Amino acid sequence: MLQVTYIRENKDQVIAGLGKRKFANAEDVINEVLELDDLRKSTQQKHDEAQSESNALSKEIGTLMKAGKKDEAEEIKQKTADLKVQVKDHGERLTQYESDLKALLYKIPNVPNNDVPEGAGENDNVTVEQHGDVPELFEGALPHWELIKKYDIIDFELGNKITGAGFPVYRGKGARLQRSLVNYFLDKAVEAGYMEVQPPILINEESGYGTGQLPDKDGQMYFVREENFYLIPTAEVPITNMYRDVIVNSDDLPIKHVGFTPCFRREAGSWGAHVRGLNRLHQFDKVEIVEIHHPDDSYAALERMCNHVKGLLESLNLPYRVLNLCGADLSFTSAQTFDMEVFSAAQQKWLEVSSVSNFETYQANRLKLRCKGKDNKSFFLHTLNGSALALPRILAAILENNQTEDGIKIPEVLVPYTGFDSIN
């Protein structure tokens, strides 16, 4: 959530940044924020003045009563009664202005970093790096949704029977390969200095607002009505919320966590060939890295996180490219995001497998996540996260790119985890 003081001090910059996102009526919305804040401030002042005068008169009433000046005291009592009505009225209007202001701020996305390119959508994302050779498959090579049937390693029909579309059942070597990827990604993150945590996969409403999934992604999240809980769309949400309403000691920075969880997304309105097989699921596994930094260090951290993800892809021998997302393709809360895509040889297309993002102070302001500086003044920290990695499309690329006429070869780094070197 943007801070009103930041909006007021950087109005033109904020409007221009929201314009880069193609955020509708940016200037009108920002002006409404400032008008509401002005009303809030003036009402607060009137409330405080009336309260202060009422308190002073109450003391005077006591003095007059002691002096035997009952008539004068009764006159002042009437004034205090009128002031109490004013205080109540100002208080109610103040509460309403604060509520309206907060609701409006929740609807405003983050301001993109200056290095975020202009663009109207995903076709305007900028490729900043490409690595690895695209494999040439033999004639008759299959897409992963055919391979999983051939080798009986993932069953979509059984998942559809148990739950519904988008909830596959992993079987035999498919289940072991899935588990091996999770363990490998976790081990590499721990080696890189991340503390592993295992967070809940259900969150309350406060947590959803804290990291910005609510109200923006309300319709994309699975909801448990009785408890007012949401199933998490990513481990970012519970891990980052571990630090909601926390003042971090500067000596504890940076904070680095890794967590593995299943993730749940309704993906309402998704259809077509691009969502076949593992390309888009309602439930999937992901290893997530989360970092919290001093504002001066966060963009260097973003680069290191990208390098960590690239290292994982290189170790799996998957060709990849890195995209700097344009303003219109950024997530609601991100200030800058780099997407990592792997090439799927059988589908002849790039598949997104990771997004690494810096949210600057946007989440921290919602979370009230602060640090106390040497001058004893507190400031908001920067939060970052990245997929390291999301499994479905990684698994799809491994199956497709490593297929031979005799079976599917397992990447060398995974063999100690799987206990087998091929699926056939």
5 is in an annotated binding site: no
Structure confidence at residue 183 (pLDDT)? 98
266 is in an annotated binding site: yes
Structure confidence at residue 127 (pLDDT)? 98
Q: Report the length, in residues, of the chain.
A: 424
Nearest to 133 by CA among 357, 342, 353: 342
d(CA 125, CA 122): 5
354 is in an annotated binding site: yes
d(CA 85, CA 279): 62
Beta strands, E only, 235-319 = 247-248, 255-264, 283-293
280 is in an annotated binding site: no
Structure confidence at residue 75 (pLDDT)? 78
pLDDT, tens digit, for every residue of 392-418? Answer: 999 999 999 999 999 999 999 999 999
d(CA 149, CA 169): 12
Eight-class DSSP state of 419: S
Q: Which residues contact 30 (CB under 8 A, 6 or more apart)?
A: 7, 11, 14, 15, 18, 108
265 is in an annotated binding site: yes
pLDDT, tens digit, for every residue of 231-268? Answer: 999 999 999 999 999 999 999 999 999 999 999 999 75
Under the banding of pLDDT at 50, 70 and 90, the label for residue 205 is very high
58 is in an annotated binding site: no
93 is in an annotated binding site: no
Structure confidence at residue 374 (pLDDT)? 79
d(CA 169, CA 164): 11
d(CA 116, CA 356): 14
Structure confidence at residue 269 (pLDDT)? 47
Q: Which residues contact 235 (CB under 8 A, 6 or more apart)?
A: 199, 259, 260, 261, 263, 286, 287, 288, 290
Helix axes 298-315 and 172-191, enclosed angle (nearest 10): 140
357: tokens are 């993002």
| Structural fold of domain 122-423 | BirA Bifunctional Protein; domain 2 (3.30.930)
352 is in an annotated binding site: yes
Q: Are 391 and 286 in contact (CB under 8 A)?
A: yes
Count the alpha carbons within 13 Å of 19 in the hemisphere toward its beta carbon. 8
Q: Which CATH superfamily is domain 4-106 in?
A: Serine-tRNA synthetase, tRNA binding domain (1.10.287.40)
pLDDT, tens digit, for every residue of 66-112? Answer: 777 777 777 788 888 889 999 999 999 999 999 999 999 999 999 99
From residue 345, alpha-carbon distances to 138, 153, 309, 348 in Å are: 11, 20, 20, 5
Q: Is the pTM of this model over 0.85?
A: yes
Q: Where are the domains positioned within the chain?
A: 4-106, 122-423
